[in-house]
Amino acid sequence: MRIKTYVEKVPGGLMLVPLILGALCKTFAPDAGKYFGSFTNGLISGTVPILAVWFFCMGATIDLRATGVVLRKSGTLLVTKMLVAWLATLIASKFIPDGGITTGVLAGLSVLAITASMDMTNGGLYAAVMQQYGTNEEASAFVLMSVESGPLFSMLILGATGVAVFEPRLFVGAVLPFLIGFALGNLDSDLREFFGRCVHPLIPFFGFALGCGIDLNVITTSGPAGVLLGLGVIVVTGIPLILADKFIGGGNGTAGIAASSTAGAAVANPTIIGEMIPKLKPIVPAATALVATACLITAILVPILTALWAKHSGRVIAETDAGAQRLTTKEVI
């Protein structure tokens, strides 16, 4: 059976399929972890430890030895994405209560969900799309996007807008595994390759653990809000990213719209931040469900919109066999 092949046909499947399985477990067998105990309970309830290892390995994969064009392109997209997420969080904090919206079509929507969905680009999706519709330098711009991975930027944005207050030690604790991995990966290329091999295999594990914290009833009630959030991510972040790519990054906007997605790893941020700020814990399940929905919506629509934009811009699509092979082997997270 080619289970992995079928899973990968789902946008963000390596994250979303295990997450859905975990949500089914939470909904229909909420005490399964306690019942089985031991290692099974560890897989079900071990979100933070699994993410800590994944975050360390992610840091090890980042190589600073990139060309100026790559750094310019990725830096432009990274800074623009962060500024837009900060501005969206600032505006949302003026209208959305601390406990999130509890009634209506937008039930479940919170500032935490907005921040987590907007401040991280799906780097794998971006790289795969730009290999087909962009240049090699544009496709390689995902290298700095890995810096967005994890809760650090979400914490900075929430802190800067006054939504939450984080002690300095919590910032250090959130980024320390990433920095250690980053240092080791750049000091020794063998370690970069060694730890880098763990990044993708860990995704289903923390996806399942995250799902085990989501009751499907929450997804049902927050479904419309999640769809609207996903569409909002594309519009709110996509327009500034297109403009930044054209006028600062030296592109034609294709890279900008390719970066207007929500990363699969962003699904973990509400849980991590909720562990640090107890007052946010009650909104974590709904925020996680919304971010997961936004990830799925953007993973479906962003490649389509990028293709349409590239065609509109007159960009030639790379259709070589080698390019096709690179696209099929690229993991989208």
| pLDDT band per the 50, 70, 90 thresholds, residue 328 | very low
Residue with the two structure tokens 């809760």: 151
Task: For residue 283, give every residue at least 6 positions away whose Cβ sits within 8 Å of its Cβ, in sequence order, or none.
Answer: 99, 100, 110, 112, 113, 270, 274
Q: In the prediction, which pLDDT does 85 show?
A: 94
Domain 3-329 falls in which CATH fold?
Na+/H+ antiporter like fold (1.20.1530)
Give per-residue pLDDT as tens, 281-301. 899 988 988 998 888 788 778
Average pLDDT over all residues of the chain? 81
Residue 102 confidence (pLDDT) above 90: no
| pLDDT band per the 50, 70, 90 thresholds, residue 315 | low
Rounded CA separation 182/265 (Å): 18
Q: In the prediction, which pLDDT does 219 show?
A: 62
Give per-residue pLDDT as tens, 129-172. 776 787 766 766 666 666 666 677 888 898 888 887 777 787 67
Give the predicted TM-score (pTM) of the model.
0.71
Q: How far is CA 311 from the centre of its chain?
A: 27
Residue 44 confidence (pLDDT) above 50: yes
What's the mean pLDDT in 302-329? 61
Task: For residue 278, give every residue at least 6 positions away whose Cβ sits within 8 Å of its Cβ, in sequence order, or none.
Answer: none
Q: In the prediction, which pLDDT does 136 show?
A: 64
What's the mean pLDDT in 218-235? 83
